[in-house]
Amino acid sequence: MDNPSEDSSDSLQQQQTESSGNDEQRVYFVPYRWWKEAQDSAPSDRKSVILYAVAPVPSYGGPMKLINNIFCPDVAFNLRREEESLSQSQESGEVGVSGRDYALVPGDIWLLALKWHSNSKVAAKNGKIFSATDEDIADVYPLQLRLSVSRETSSLGVRISKKDNSVECFRRACRIFSVDTEPSRIWDLFGQTALFFSNENNKMIKDSQKQSEQDLLLELQVYGLSDSVKNKGKKDEMSMPYLNGSSFLMNGTGSGITSNLTRSTSSSFSGGLCEAGTLGLTGLQNLGNTCFMNSALQCLAHTPKLVDYFLGDYKKEINHDNPLGMHGEIASAFGDLLKKLWAPGATPVAPRIFKSKLAHFAPQFSGFNQHDSQEVLAFLLDGLHEDLNRVKNKPYVEAKDGDDRPDEEIADEYWNYHLARNDSIIVDVCQGQYRSTLVCPVCKKVSITFDPFMYLSLPLPSTSMRSMTLTVIKSGSDIQISAFTITVPKDGKLEDLIRALSTACSLEADETLLVAEVCAKFPTYSNRIIRYLEEPADSLSLIRDGDRLVAYRLHKGPEEAPLVMFTHQQIDEHYSYGRLTSNWKPFGIPLAAHCRVLKGSDIRSLYLQLLTPFLVQNGAQADALNFDRCCIEVCTDMEPDNKRVNVFPESIAEENAAEHLDMEFHFYLSDDKATTRGPEIVMNEQLQSTDIPGRLNVLVSWSPKMLEKYNTSLFSSLPEVFKSGFFGKRPQESVSLYKCLEAFLKEEPLGPEDMWFCPGCNEHRQATKKLDLWRLPEILVIHLKRFSYSRFMKNKLETYVDFPTHDLDLSSYMAYKDGKSSYRYMLYAISNHYGSMGGGHYTAFVHQGADRWYDFDDSHVSSISPDKIKTSAAYVLFYRRVEEVQR
């Protein structure tokens, strides 16, 4: 019977010689005993062996050691070269017999050793033929370590930090490299680590990005040292210690050392062990809020034509001299990353180099804040195009006037102009063309242009209504505070809200509504107005369900009568660090009225009138109040000629108010948000004209005695715009992708900020604009506009978009058909966003042939049922063209 390992041993000995000079050879970290069994029949070249002793790093003793372990819990040790021990071990032949001996071997040699072990089992059990993706390779876990080189002492410093690794991986590292128990050694059998000490590799160390001097970040994948063995209940006494594991790959490059690991069977795949080893099913590690980048990268990394291009010889097309490009660095970083993702059996990749390049050329993506996957996708597509632009010298081209020529001729002319300056794989695959038609509303001048596009950003039209609750305050001699719930279009504008609220509260012809938001969440601005909603064209999406809105029902006064806005504040006393402290704190809903005010007493009288309904009435106060009502003419009830305003008998208005109402209010001028206290308003002095703008903000300080005389609780309650507990959960809104496309293509007027300069009128006009699809790309990227931004807030639409997965037919939306191209598309990737703005999470769904879909959630990759890929989290859709079947 032939020795089952004979062929493997011959190949093993041959590969040892071939791999000795390969700087980029993958290196595996394995138990030496496991390696020795396969290596005995083919001895290695002892001249290249380097032996390291694992030595602890000196630390403080006594109580300081405990403190140091708490605040610096990293695993740190030194690898010290042991030349003398190596010679003795080689002479005695007792090498690596300890359970604490490990070996570094090149990747191809490791694979042959693994095959030797597998064939040995086959011979004994008549099992199946060895495959690198079988269950022999299992339980792979990553480990990040930092390496410092000391050429003077010929040693390596190693540090494994909790910050760089998961809790479970760090725990396993502590077990493997526990230098306080028994001594351990690491055998570099093929001299791979000698590269770190050679002078010609100094540049590699210096170029390591964002590391301290001579500090390299390596990714360690441990093979054969798992503490959770999965062997289907079968325990082989020899293979048990190293049945499961992973690889330690060092891939030396000019910019540092990175790793590209061989993926083994992993629990990341919910589809079972047969999924392991499938090309392209490689996750990306989250480097800290980089899920947005990972999601976009996975979608691009599974774009058919781009995969073929970047796995080929793409670097010959890099345009290093393009001033609009990134010197080829973005293209190179993306290409290198894509090759790692498509390496046979690769493990999760840490895209650190790509992230650093991205942050360098797009500083908005630096740091660890959450960003938008569509924004990084747009930047990356544009950057790849410029880095790979085949046009070295862009000619100057000027678009000609249409001169009533056919649109087909003009469109081709524009497209050829575009190709004369832009020619890359991105243009070939991802760029299309649409027709833009502008019509002047005055002279009816028509302007038609044809512009390229990289993706389509589609709005999400609302198909449902929205319930909103506002508090309406009616000012006047009998102030009223009432809550109204109205129904408005979800995609409506502020004018829709005003119209519905006017009907609900029976607004009079001489009245108007002023809507404002009162802050109730942040102590700094609580019970203050933080914004006024006055622009009729503003979208209602800018109003969140948790906002608190108040609508002031005001009389339409003369233009010279300002709006007086009162904000209330009281003394707030509390203990801080054992001392009683006090400060002024706002309370209640701000009150407002239109009135001409000439002096301080006018402001006081107006404020007292607004507070009248909240006065706690006992017998004496009721008499005084009735007397005051007879003697005081309210400033909001003006005479027709608007001449008699704020006419108060001084002896009564001042004497009785002071005597019966015990005036203990102080009035101060303030800013729009009532956050600063300006000069105090003196009652008998005239207000300066500069103190009376269109909106006069007054801060009113209440004394404790006044708080007892008024029931402030009556104007302190302000409901939220929408409370799910009152009205129940909103139904899931649904809209088809075709409806989104129709909303994108429909004719609509330009906004006031996007006025078009009409060459016929020689003036800026608010023209109407109409878009039409003219030329579609092979890869069609559709961005669903879920996020809206404003000066004050961000908002996300959770609308469920029903999009086709197999047959997106755009033929009916084409303004021009050439009779050759197909307008049918198949979905192959989705970038998803879950959660709200700022605190959400991005993933990607990717089609992998037949009906197989996979969920890429950072480093975790799992299969997903095709009927579960359509969710309200879909954010960016990726379609590829399906060619028409010729009949």
Q: What is the CA radius of gyration of the chain?
A: 37
Q: Which residues pair with 251 in a beta bridge?
A: 258
Q: For residue 203, count other CB atoms closer than 10 A to its CB.
A: 11
Residue 191 zone, left/alpha/beta (φ > 0; ψ -120 to 50; rest): left
Tokens found for residue 460: 């999400």
Q: Are 587 and 527 in contact (CB under 8 A)?
A: yes
Burial of 405 (0-12, 13-18, 19+ CB in 10 A): exposed
In sequence order, which residues have a C-beta less than 8 Å from that of residue 837 and are 6 or more positions away? 787, 794, 795, 796
Tokens found for residue 395: 């000619």
CA 381 – CA 429 distance, rounded (Å): 11
Amino acid at 741: L
CA 220 – CA 369 distance, rounded (Å): 27
Looking up tokens 């004719």 gives 747
CA 885 – CA 736 distance, rounded (Å): 26
Element (H, E) at 622: helix 619-631
Tokens found for residue 370: 């959450």
Q: Phi then psi for 808, rounded to 5 degrees?
A: -85, 110
Q: Are 129 and 122 in contact (CB under 8 A)?
A: yes
Q: Which residues are catalytic?
A: 291, 841
Q: For residue 685, count other CB atoms closer than 10 A to its CB.
A: 10
How many Å from the N-terminal Cα to the C-terminal Cα in the chain? 60
The alpha carbon of 152 is separated from its chain's Cα centroid by a whole number of angstroms, namely 46
Between the CA of residue 696 and those of 563, 564, 668, what are the distances in Å?
6, 5, 11
∠ at Cα 733 (731, 734), nearest 5°?
Answer: 140
Pinpoint the alpha helices (H) of 644-693: 650-660
CA 8 – CA 16 distance, rounded (Å): 12
Tokens found for residue 136: 């022999």
Amino acid at 801: V
Between the CA of residue 526 and those of 27, 291, 483, 511, 593, what are the distances in Å?
61, 35, 20, 28, 21
Between the CA of residue 817 and those of 419, 775, 810, what are the distances in Å?
20, 8, 11
Helix (H, G, I), strand (E, B) or coil at 251: strand
CA 746 – CA 737 distance, rounded (Å): 14
Q: Are 555 and 636 in contact (CB under 8 A)?
A: yes
CA 332 – CA 318 distance, rounded (Å): 8
Q: Phi then psi for 641, rounded to 5 degrees?
A: -85, 0
Q: Which residues pair with 195 in a beta bridge?
A: none
Pinpoint the alpha helices (H) of 72-223: 83-92, 107-125, 167-176, 202-206
Question: How many residues are given for the chain?
Answer: 887
CA 600 – CA 598 distance, rounded (Å): 7
Burial of 39 (0-12, 13-18, 19+ CB in 10 A): buried
CA 362 – CA 372 distance, rounded (Å): 13
CA 761 – CA 778 distance, rounded (Å): 40
Enter the DSSP assignment of 99.
T
